[in-house]
């Protein structure tokens, strides 16, 4: 091997060593990353994503901008040692965060209830759901038939179907009724001369538990002007919990459904039945109440 070949081989080996060192330098920061660090990043990213969705859905962009401006002012005043301004801003921030919890109390409660409900779903479904599905079919059939008749006569109605979020506070505002759901009773309750026709009916499972109930009104400024109090109450209820709310307009007989802050319109009794069956049965199959589960089962 001559001197030129030796020099070439040495140069190639040197380049290979440089490339190896280059990749080691790039990879060295990642070699210390643990699984916990990755999980931490994922959880923080998820939290920030849901905070962004919360702000966007509540149309609180200006409020968020104001909070950010206060935090920036707090940092700058502390950095520049502007003691008077720092004291004022820090006092506002301390009171402001408490005020935010008060302002968004319904939304925060709804979020925590949904988180709790989702965690319960993880325990799995152990109960036989055949009888429950049959009960849902009968209940949905009664609601859809009654809604169709009320729509034809332009009789207003507001029916709340409770899901995983319990509606004890709303039930207390009305008159307790413990009756099996049937179309005749629904029509009689919402008859325009009946004493309870102006309030909401709340259904839990296959029973009417209360009527004449007061619901929270939606504060969404973008609601269509032609929507009345019933529709605003339906939207307000659906914004604060996972209930399905059926509305029949007194003015034009249109049947609507409020779900998760959104209003779906122009149902007839057949499409209403299809929607309710699909939604309620899917929800029942994944969200069995604890009282219905058989933890210990005899053979």
Q: Could you report the per-residue pLDDT of 16-67, keeping only the tens digit for each?
A: 666 766 666 666 665 667 778 788 888 888 888 877 776 665 556 677 778 7
Residues 139 and 275 in one domain: yes
Spatial distance between the Cα atoms of 235 and 294, rounded to a whole number of angstroms: 35
Residues 67 and 139 in one domain: no
Indicate the SS3 state at residue 89. helix
Residues 98 and 246 in one domain: no
Buried b (16+ CB within 10 A) or exposed e, 189-216: bbeeeeebbebbbbbbbbebbbbbbebb
Residues 141 and 284 in one domain: yes
Residues 136 and 220 in one domain: yes
- CATH number of the domain at 174, please: 3.40.1700.10
Residues 97 and 153 in one domain: no
Q: Find the domain containing 280 and state its range.
A: 131-288
* 99-123 pLDDT per residue, tens: 777 766 666 666 666 565 554 444 3
Pick the last residue of a domain from 85, 103, 121: 103
pLDDT of residue 192: 84
Residues 192 and 62 in one domain: no
Mean pLDDT, residues 242-247: 91
* 144-154 pLDDT per residue, tens: 999 999 999 99
Contacts of 177 (CB under 8 A, 6+ apart): 208, 209, 210, 211
How many domains are contained in the chain? 2
Residues 191 and 270 in one domain: yes
Residues 149 and 236 in one domain: yes
Indicate whether 98 belongs to any domain: yes
* Dihedral sign for Cα atoms in the order 82, 87, 92, 98: positive
pLDDT of residue 69: 86
The top-scoring range by mean pLDDT among 25-29, 38-42, 221-225, 273-277 is: 273-277
Q: Are 148 and 229 in contact (CB under 8 A)?
A: no
The top-scoring range by mean pLDDT among 33-37, 191-195, 233-237 is: 233-237
Q: Are 161 and 245 in contact (CB under 8 A)?
A: yes
Distances in Å between the alpha carbon of 253 and those of 47, 154, 155, 256? 42, 4, 7, 10
Indicate whether 39 belongs to any domain: yes
Mean pLDDT, residues 61-82: 82
For the entire predicted model, the pTM comes to 0.60
């Amino acid at each position: 091997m001559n001197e030129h070949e030796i020099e070439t081989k040495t140069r190639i080996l040197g380049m290979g060593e440089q490339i190896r060192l280059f990749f080691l330098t790039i990879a060295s920061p990642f070699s210390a990353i643990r699984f916990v660090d990755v999980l931490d990043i994922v959880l923080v990213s998820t939290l920030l994503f849901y905070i962004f969705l919360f702000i966007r859905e509540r149309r609180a962009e200006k409020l968020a901008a104001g909070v950010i401006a206060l935090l920036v002012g707090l940092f700058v005043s502390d950095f520049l040692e502007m003691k008077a301004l720092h004291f004022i801003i820090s006092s506002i921030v301390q009171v402001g965060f408490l005020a935010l919890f008060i302002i968004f109390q319904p939304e925060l409660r709804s979020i925590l209830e949904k988180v709790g409900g989702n965690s319960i779903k993880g325990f799995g479904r152990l109960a036989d759901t055949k009888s429950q599905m049959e009960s849902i079919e009968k209940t949905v059939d009664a609601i859809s038939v009654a809604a169709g008749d009320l729509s034809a006569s332009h009789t207003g109605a507001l029916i709340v179907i409770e899901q995983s979020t319990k509606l004890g506070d709303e039930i207390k505002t009305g008159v307790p009724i413990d009756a099996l759901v049937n179309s005749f009773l629904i029509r009689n309750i919402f008859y325009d001369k009946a004493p309870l026709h102006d309030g909401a009916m709340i259904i839990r499972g296959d029973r009417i538990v209360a009527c004449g109930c007061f619901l929270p009104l939606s504060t969404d400024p973008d609601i269509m002007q032609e929507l009345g109090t019933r529709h605003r109450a339906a939207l307000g209820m659906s914004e604060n919990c996972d209930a399905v709310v059926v509305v029949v307009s007194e003015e034009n007989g249109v049947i609507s459904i409020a779900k998760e802050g959104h209003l779906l319109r122009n149902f007839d009794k057949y499409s209403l039945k299809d929607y309710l069956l699909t939604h309620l049965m899917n929800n029942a199959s994944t969200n069995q109440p604890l009282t219905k589960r058989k933890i210990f089962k005899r053979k």
